[in-house]
């Protein structure tokens, strides 16, 4: 088998449905649990997320981010679940959006899944990914005046920490 053939990933059920309905995306290798993973461009995230919601993914289990490495892209990811009382094992999908390090901006999905509120704020706070349209995008864990994004792999910790207003 050639290297090109080994990189082909078979589209899953949800990815096939998205393709049939004209939603452009890329199928990635399934995760360690065998769950479908798709890659979406930032400008198509809201239409695809809306389609996934209409498809039945009514719960955002998790939203977060990670840094691929110094000088490389940042990733905003979403774990979606289709919760249905008639099903023993809910259907799941993972959505990943790869963002440039110098301008990591992606639309907020708060207006589709309200549960992404604090999760997007935490990802913003730790990685500097800006969630455009978020109703209250501000630091959640770090002080408002903190400089930098502590979980980026190229972050340099300050030599000292100043306690302000400590009594």
Domains and CATH numbers, the chain: 3-132 (3.30.460.80)
Three-class DSSP category at 107 = strand
Taking only the tens place, the pLDDT of each residue in 3-60 is 554 567 788 899 999 999 999 999 999 999 999 999 999 999 999 999 999 999 999 9
CA distance 20 to 17: 5
Question: Mean pLDDT lowest for which of 75-79, 96-100, 109-113, 157-161?
Answer: 157-161
Backbone torsions φ then ψ of 108, nearest 5 degrees: -75, 145
Residue 161's pLDDT band (cuts 50, 70, 90) = low
H or E stretch covering 67: strand 59-67
CA distance 82 to 143: 36
Predicted confidence at residue 29, as pLDDT, reads 92
Predicted confidence at residue 21, as pLDDT, reads 92
Taking only the tens place, the pLDDT of each residue in 59-98 is 999 999 999 999 999 999 999 999 987 778 899 999 999 9
Is residue 24 within 8 Å of residue 3, measured between CB atoms? no
Residue 165's pLDDT band (cuts 50, 70, 90) = low
Nearest in space to 35 (alpha carbons), one of 6, 9, 12, 62: 12
Q: Give, in order, the Cα–Cα distances in Å from 80 to each of 29, 60, 102, 142.
A: 17, 5, 28, 27
CA distance 90 to 82: 6
Residue 162's pLDDT band (cuts 50, 70, 90) = low
């Amino acid at each position: 088998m050639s290297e090109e053939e080994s990189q082909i990933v078979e589209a899953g059920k949800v990815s096939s449905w998205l393709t049939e309905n004209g939603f452009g995306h890329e199928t990635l290798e399934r995760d360690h649990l065998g769950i479908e993973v798709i890659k979406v461009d930032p400008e198509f995230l809201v239409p695809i997320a809306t389609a996934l919601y209409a498809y039945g993914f009514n719960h955002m289990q998790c939203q977060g981010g990670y840094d691929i490495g110094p000088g490389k892209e940042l990733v905003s990811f979403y774990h979606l679940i289709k919760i249905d009382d008639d099903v023993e094992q809910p259907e799941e999908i993972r959505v990943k959006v790869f963002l440039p390090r110098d301008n990591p901006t992606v639309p907020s999905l708060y207006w589709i899944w309200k549960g992404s509120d604090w999760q997007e704020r935490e990802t913003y706070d730790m990685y500097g990914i800006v969630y455009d349209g978020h109703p209250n995008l501000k630091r959640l864990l770090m002080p408002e005046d903190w400089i930098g994004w502590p979980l980026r792999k190229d972050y340099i910790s300050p030599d000292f920490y100043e306690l302000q207003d400590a009594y």
